[in-house]
Structure 1
Amino acid sequence: MPTSVLPFLMFQGQGSDALDFYLFVFPHSKIEHIERYQAGDSGAEGSIKLARFTLGEQSVLCTDSPIKHAFSFTPSFSFFVECASQDEVRRLGSLLKEGGAELMPVDHYGFSTLFTWVSDRFGVSWQLNCA
């Protein structure tokens, strides 16, 4: 039996910037643990070897891969965020899509009072919903 199942975000040199951004965007978020590559390690010195952080009540792992890959994030995986208000949907959507993309504009789509789907500047996809 698995002991845990967590989202794992693999960046390619932007992990620290992404982590700082997410901690800014989501109040009460925190870093639970962070380990950085040291001189002589396989990754760039100071980049994230492994970090565990919390957004809302969700723990997330991330790394800066020392191996360059021909792939990145895709909207087929996204974080689904239940927002407390329509203002929060708008605020988070505006912050997260800056430098990224708006996949579904803020609107009422029939399944919620307000919804938007955005991709941030790091390529991570976010669905923001106000029931």
Structure 2
Amino acid sequence: MESPKQKVTTFLMFEGQAEEAMNLYTSIFDQSEILTIQRYGPHEAGAEGSVLKATFSMHGQTFMCIDSSVKHEFTFTPSISLYVTCETEEEINRVFEKPAQDGKVYMPLGNYPFSERFGWVGDKFGVSWQLNLGG
């Protein structure tokens, strides 16, 4: 039986870093892969070879991304983040470590009143991740 099509998809807009971001994200999470990539060709609006439109999955959830051909005065903000429930201590440590290397730690991995193990990090692209161990 085919699974139902995902109705709401997170859409991430980059300016030349979409493929690098997808490679990072799919390397962090198990059961993750780049599904499709359409690239700008010569004489198109975006830089040739950059991502016109792509889809990737992380643990069964599909995401879309692009490299915008238009420069914007905005980027990602921590006000919206991807919330990840990690199943093991090893997983939360691994998932926190990679984005934190070149990113920004908003809340270090630790014990908080609302969670025994939680961390909040923004990766080098500006995408914000809240990571929680267990339910």
Question: Normalising by structure 2, what TM-score?
Answer: 0.91
Q: Which residue of 2 aligns with 1:56?
A: 59
Superposed structure 1 runs of 4+ greater than 3 Å apart:
none
1:87 deviation in Å? 2.2
Match for 2:92 among 81, 89, 93?
89
Q: Give the Cα separation in 2 of the matches to 1:72 and 1:51.
A: 18
Q: Secondary structure of the residue that 1:98 maps to in structure 2?
A: helix
Q: Which residue of 2 aligns with 1:112?
A: 115
Counterpart check, 1:20 vs 2:23: yes
Q: Which residue of 2 aligns with 1:45?
A: 48
The percent identity for this pair of structures is 43
Q: Give the Cα separation in 1 of the matches to 2:31 and 2:104.
A: 25
Q: Secondary structure of the residue that 2:131 maps to in structure 1?
A: strand
The residue type equivalent to 2:106 in the other structure is L
Q: Which residue of 2 aligns with 1:65?
A: 68
Q: Secondary structure of the residue that 1:108 maps to in structure 2?
A: strand
Q: Secondary structure of the residue that 1:69 maps to in structure 2?
A: coil
Q: CA RMSD in A?
A: 1.2
Q: Unaligned stretches of 5+ in structure 1? A: none
* Number of residues of Structure 1 aligned to a counterpart in Structure 2: 129
Q: Give the Cα separation in 1 of the matches to 2:19 and 2:90.
A: 28
Q: Give the Cα separation in 2 of the matches to 1:28 and 1:4.
A: 20
Q: Which residue of 1 aligns with 2:130?
A: 127
Q: Secondary structure of the residue that 1:121 maps to in structure 2?
A: coil
Q: Give the Cα separation in 1 of the matches to 2:79 and 2:118.
A: 17
Q: Which residue of 1 aligns with 2:3?
A: none
Q: Unaligned stretches of 5+ in structure 2? A: 1-5
